[in-house]
Each structure stands twice: as C-alpha cells, then as structure tokens.
Amino acid sequence: MTIGDTIRKYRKENNMTQEDVAVSLGVSTPAVNKWERGVTMPDIALLSPMARLFHITTDQLLSFKSDLSDKEVGDIVQEINHSFEKEEFTSVFSRIEALVREYPSSYSLILSLSLILESQCTIKDIPDRDKYDDWIEKHAHILLESGVESIRLQGADLLFNLYMRQKRYDEAEKCLEHFSLQNPERKRKKASIYVEKGEYEEAFKALEETLFSLGQSIEATLNEIYMLEMKTGAYDKAQYILGKEETLADLLDRGTYHRVSSWLDYYVARKNGDGVISIMEQLLENTDSLLSFTSSPLFEHMNFKIVDPSYFQNIRKDLIDSFINEETYDFVKTSPLWPDFKKKWLGSKIQ
C-alpha cells in the first residue's frame, strides 16, 4: 500500500471525510485529495499529527512492517518455489532480492529464501553459482544477529555448509562458535572438518563422543518417559519403554547391568517379588558389565579412565546392603525364590 492508500484506509475507518482531515491538520481539502490519489505526499511534519488523528502509529501510517506472520512467510515460500518451476532463475532471484529489501527485519523470511536459493542452486547446477553464494553468505550473517536462537543456529548451519562446500575450513570452524558446547551438532560438524582435512583419528573421536553423548541423553529421556508412565499408572506403556531402553543398551554396548537395571524399579513398584529377585540376581552377576562400553568397538577412539576392580565389588556390596536394610524390599522375602537367592548372595547377613 502507498501512503495515499493508507491515508484513505484509516480516514474511512475513522468515519472522516477528506474535509474533516484537512481541518484537523490545517491544510486544504484538495491537498488531502492529492495525497490519497498519490499526486503529492504529505509534509513530513504532518505524519505524527496524522497518526494521532487516526489513532495509529507512524509505522502503520507508512505501511511499515518489520516482520511477517508464519502464514505469510509460508505463502511467500510456496509462491517462490512454484516460480522456480516455471520462470527463469534470474527472474525469481530478483523477486527474492526485492522481498528481502521489503522486509529486511523478517529473519524467518530471509532464512526461508536463503534455504530455497541454496537448494535451487544445487538442484539446477547454476553456472554462476558464486553470485548466489555471495548473496547467501551475506544474508546468513544477517541471520546470526537474530534474537531467536533457532534462526541463529540455522543461519550458522547454512553458513557452515556453504564454507564446507567452498573448502573454507577455517571459516567453517568459526561457525561452530554459535553452537553451545553441549550441542552434539558442534562435535559432529567438527568431525566433518577433520574428515575433509584428512585427520581421521580426530574425526573418529569426535563422532564417537557425539554418539556417546546422544546415547546418554536418549537413555535419560526414555527413563523420564518411563517414570511418567508409571506415575500415571500406564504400566503396559512403561514396560514398552523399558523394552526400548533394553534395545538402546544393546545398540550402544552398554552391557547387561544397564540393560536390565530399570526393571528393578518397575518390579518394586508393582510389588512383584519374583521379578525383583530375578533382576537383582542379574545385576549382582553382571556388575562387571557396568563399564562394558569402554571396550566396545563403537568407542575405541575414546579415552576412558581405568577403574579398580574394587569398584565392582563395592557395587555388589551396596546392592546386597540395600536388600538387607531398606524396607522397600521387605515384601520380596515372601517370594518362593527368596530362600535360594538368600543362600547364594546374602548368607549369614540375613536374620
């Protein structure tokens, strides 16, 4: 909308005539008529009084829009994508440039258009790719200034991929500073730089550390889901989640101890004495497997601390002591499996 269109729009919304506006602003009625027809522009000194007259901001009066809604961005993206299918590449690119000039503060639009342009350049194998890469690089840097973390990270990712493709590895590495140390993407991307530089040992180590960290995170998340299922009484679903924990433990060579440990809590909560004894027996027999992942081929390039054998003995002792001293396990002593278990593991410590 031109400013003339805007003046007409808000004048009518306020049920005012051109003469009403002219009188309020101290100008002639023909002057207001010329503004609305786009023949002339109002004096800059009249913008604030006019905005107050229409009960709007000067930004609204000037049709200024700093951002777009998600739907508006989606509609633009869809239109641009369709345009690439039927129009000349340069023509669509010109429209992209115009859109960014029109909405320079819409980071979501800049991100979407940059991703589209990157994708189209790759798909169509554009000969003068450097021109478009320069545009993408410039606007990826703009995205890094966004106050929205997800947009900043996507901007850094866009820039990283561009630098990697151009073999500008030092600049690609600087992009990683935008990813937190806890973000697994940081190490994974670092590994890709190592690979390109031929530093394979470092690449293996970075990837293995990423896998190890992600495994721990998934394990913790599954356990939280399991506890929530138990809290809400969804016991069948809780068993299903525990099955997934078992699968994860096998996948990451976590050993039998990790594989079955969560079942102990389940059987205790369900007052299943036979189940508790079965799991406790497996835990006591497999305490040495607690650190089995340290010898797994999955993590052979990682450095783990050497653990004294007494560590596993202490784990077994703590498990046995908990059976003796914690009231939580009193109900287990009614299980028909209890006598054999007591004889094998607890001996004379049980009264």
What's the pLDDT score for residue 348?
Answer: 45
**Predicted confidence (pLDDT) per residue in 2-15, tens digit:** 788 889 888 998 99
What's the pLDDT score for residue 233?
Answer: 95
> What is the length of the chain?
351
CA distance 345 to 323: 10
**Predicted confidence (pLDDT) per residue in 138-187, tens digit:** 999 999 988 889 999 999 999 999 999 999 999 999 999 999 988 999 99
Under 8 Å between Cβ of 10 and 54 = yes
Residue whose C-alpha is closest to residue 121's, from 139, 134, 104: 134
Residue whose C-alpha is closest to residue 10's, from 44, 59, 60: 60
**Predicted confidence (pLDDT) per residue in 210-221, tens digit:** 999 999 999 999
Average confidence (pLDDT) over 284-306 = 94
pTM of the predicted model, to two decimals?
Answer: 0.73
Residue whose pair of structure tokens reads 């389940």 in the numeric block: 266
Q: How confident is the model at residue 65 (pLDDT cuts 50, 70, 90)?
A: low
Residue whose C-alpha is closest to residue 80's, from 55, 112, 107: 112
